[in-house]
Amino acid sequence: MKKSLVAVFVGVMLWFAIGSATGVGRVTIYDVSDFIAPFYVQLGDIILYLLFGTLIYTTGIFVYHLHSFHQERKYLNGGAEKVRSVLRALFGSRPEPEESAETPRADRLWQTVEAEKDSPYGEIFQGLSDEDLKSRQDFIYALEVRVGDMTAQKKQVLSFYNYISITAPTLGFLGTAVGMVAIFDDVGVAGAEQLAADLKIALITTVVGLGIRFVALFCKTFLESVQDDMSVVMVNELKEMLA
């Protein structure tokens, strides 16, 4: 990686030296400016479309995550009767039936939630072994560890909002920079009122980009809080089943 960067740097320096000496392949700032000038307005519009598209996409993902959390909460509020009965059979005071005792405890837990796609317990029980189910204490400890790991994994998915919060302001500043370059082309030609109006338009993309950053960070913080609450509720619910 370092060698390739050095090679690119050396190649560009050679290009610059040869272009300056012979004029072959020489590129100047004025050449770039003249080439881009006809597209200033279009570039600003494209950036604005990208920003609003990012906002719509972020909102959609946020609604999807909220719906997923709502489904999990709905399941926790009365949809875990099968899990409750299996846990009480595993750790109850009554001896287990012989046909049930022959089946590993971990397999029985997994079979209970395997067919229930909305069950948030599926991810937890899938990672447990018979060693984790020797006693209530072992089960509770393994449960807390497993829920903590699962919560960390789900929060990692929410890092998507971090990328949005970085990308949106960058696009906004890029739109403003393009607008400012276009304004300087009109200096000395347009009046003060026209320049002020152009400057206001150039700053719009920055305002939109910073607004999207705020929305993305709010969504991430809110969803992380909801995820923490869900984890606590899940652990307490399972502990209550063992009581």
Dig out the tokens for 165 from the structure.
């919060």
Q: Which two tokens stand for residue 230?
A: 């869900």
* CA distances in angstroms from 209 to 56, 75, 94, 183, 202, listed in the order given: 13, 38, 62, 20, 12
pLDDT along the chain (243 residues), means of 10: 81 81 72 68 82 92 88 69 69 51 61 61 70 74 80 82 90 84 66 68 86 92 87 78 68
The pLDDT of residue 98 is: 46
- The whole model's pTM is what? 0.70
Are 174 and 151 in contact by the 8 Å Cβ rule? The answer is: no
What is the pLDDT, as a whole number, of residue 127? 66
Task: Give the model's pLDDT for residue 108.
Answer: 64
CA pair distance 15, 37, nearest whole angstrom: 25
